[in-house]
Amino acid sequence: MDLLANLALGFAAAATPSNLAFCLIGCLLGTLVGVLPGVGPTATIALLLPITYHFEPTASLIMLAGIFYGSQYGGPPTPTPVPPPGPPASVGTAIDGHEMAKQGRGGVALATAAIGSFFAGTVATLLIAGFAPILTKVALSFGPADYFALIVFALLVSVSIAQGSIVKAIAMILLGLLLGLVGTNVTSGTQRYTFGVLDLYDGIDLVAVIMGLFGVSETISSIERHRVIPMLIAKVTSLMPSRKDIAEMTPPILRGTALGSFLGILPGGGALLASFASYSMEKRFAKDRSQFGKGAIAGVAGPESANNAAAQTSFIPMLTLGIPANAIMAIMASAMIMRGITPGPNVMTDQPVLFWGLIASMWIGNLMLLVLNLPLIGVWVRLVRIPYDLLYPAILVFCVIGVYSLSNSVFDIYVMLAFGIIGYLLSKLGCEPAPLVLGMLLGPMLEEYLQRAMLLARGNPIVFVERPMSASLLALSVIILAAAALPFVRRKRAEALQE
């Protein structure tokens, strides 16, 4: 009953004409930037973040969320008529979708992606609405020691499912934690790592770092990788899937939704991982594996559902526990903080309209995308054909103006530039940027909870193993770390992430 009342509240908030408009603009902008080659969803949302500053909090969060899942939808239209590289979140789809287009079934591939995404989005919205209140209640009973353990746990889970070397991922988290400490320490007033630079007294702007790591650094890598790809201009044929298509796409959509919903909640998970995982799962379930990579409808339906489900369930840890699960949620969290809203269990109780409005808007946004994308495919396809040589200078211009407008500071442009270079070089050395962002955002929280827990326990560190919640979370963290170091698990993990 509560659930219905809450959803009603949310839909009432989300369905006001202005919020509907913001949702629509967000979805369109997200799709627009999402279809452009070489711009991933993280860069998209960082790029468009400054635009949302001018609106009231609910509207701007609805718009940001729209940008986010809009950019996830940005996947289906692009890879299908155009060969990879598409947006990174839909790599699996790219292969089979492209093959389907070659066979003159591009329309069906698009329809499959749209239906799967919409179904997954609907399920994920219901999951958020159902689980968020429960998790919020759990979170409200957390003490500082539990929070400390939870953050440690989240960071280690994100490491264990990150790509590449575990030691490197841990080092990136630690580097992020250190970067998060730069500035004036709130509790003591001490300047840490500011080196007398006035611009550093308030800390390093996380969004500038993210724009550097994901906008500038990715652009440099894309220019380097970019080859001129011959464009396949497939006519978008009939959109209607046949009865056989529907029978073939249903199980993958269901599996993809379930897998994606689960992976989305995990720290470090999210859309990209879900998309990959679903693709390899469908391959395993397939009766005829040889069809994969040659236009299997399951190879489109599964990953597209999974990445959408994951995109949405990744809101759960941020909204209920205040712990963002990935870099995109870190941006959402910093957008909330900038508006004076602290992400965490209090959002639901203190700002029910914002909370439920945001959730309801996700479903509305999914519906809009379903309705919009199919007729607009022609427009998106034409956009994709903009040569990258003309596109990336525009992306860079957007980055510099966007980062400057965060707080009208030229210094932030230099921060972005520095992290663009650092991110590029570190990625060359096999260090992924995402853990650094998580560490940077969670660093101050981790320190504060550690201090508070020690204060409450009168300096006795046994508090971390005394409380059942904190003890079990820390035990799980140790197990994860130990397991990840085992040669057998390491091999399996490398295999699973390879596919």
Partner 1 sequence: MHLVRRPSDFLSGLVFFVIGTVAAVIARDYPLGTARMMGPGVFPLIVASLLALCGAILVGRAFMGGREDRIEIAPLPLLLVSAGIAVFALTLMGAGLVLATMALVLISSAASGRFKPVSSLLLAFGLALACTLGFVYGLRQLLPVFGSWFTPFLG
Binders of partner 1 among 308-347, rule CB under 8 A? none
Task: Kindly state the smallest distance separating residue 193's Cβ from partner 1, in Å.
Answer: 7
- 387-416 footprint of partner 1 as x/- string (CB under 8 A): -xxx-xxx-xx-xxx--xx--x-x--xx-x
Task: Note whether 454 binds partner 1 by CB under 8 A.
Answer: yes
Task: Note whether 465 binds partner 1 by CB under 8 A.
Answer: no
Write the DSSP assignment of 10-66 as a string of letters: HHHHHTSHHHHHHHHHHHHHHHHHHHSTT--HHHHHHHHGGGGGGS-HHHHHHHHHH
Task: Note whether 28 binds partner 1 by CB under 8 A.
Answer: no
Amino acid present at 18:
S
- For residues 421 and 368, give the distance between their C-alpha atoms in angstroms, rounded to a whole number: 38
81 half-sphere exposure, CB direction, 13 A CA radius: 21
Among 5, 134, 223, 496, which residue interacts with partner 1 (rule: CB under 8 A)?
A: 223
Query: How many chain residues are in contact with partner 1, going by CB under 8 A?
Result: 65
- For residues 78 and 234, give the distance between their C-alpha atoms in angstroms, rounded to a whole number: 11
Binders of partner 1 among 172-211, rule CB under 8 A? 174-175, 177-178, 181, 185, 187-188, 190, 192-193
Among 20, 376, 447, 471, which residue interacts with partner 1 (rule: CB under 8 A)?
A: 447
- For residues 399 and 44, give the distance between their C-alpha atoms in angstroms, rounded to a whole number: 10
Contact 176, 440 (CB under 8 A): yes
| For partner 1, the closer CB: 55 or 292 | 55
> What token pair was written down for 95?
């292969």
Q: What are phi and psi of 184, to 5 degrees?
A: -85, 125
Task: Note whether 420 binds partner 1 by CB under 8 A.
Answer: yes
Amino acid present at 393:
P
Contact 219, 395 (CB under 8 A): yes
Return all residues near 302 (Cβ < 8 A) that are at least 6 apart: 92, 116, 252, 253, 255, 256, 278, 279, 281, 282
Among the residue ranges 151-159, 261-269, 295-303, 459-467, the one whose residues contact partner 1 (CB under 8 A): 459-467
Task: Note whether 430 binds partner 1 by CB under 8 A.
Answer: yes
Task: Note whether 170 binds partner 1 by CB under 8 A.
Answer: yes
Binding site residues, partner 1, CB under 8 A: 50-51, 54, 165, 167-168, 170-171, 174-175, 177-178, 181, 185, 187-188, 190, 192-193, 216, 219-221, 223-224, 226, 388-390, 392-394, 396-397, 399-401, 404-405, 408, 410, 413-414, 416-417, 420-421, 424-426, 428-431, 443, 446-447, 450-451, 454-455, 458-461
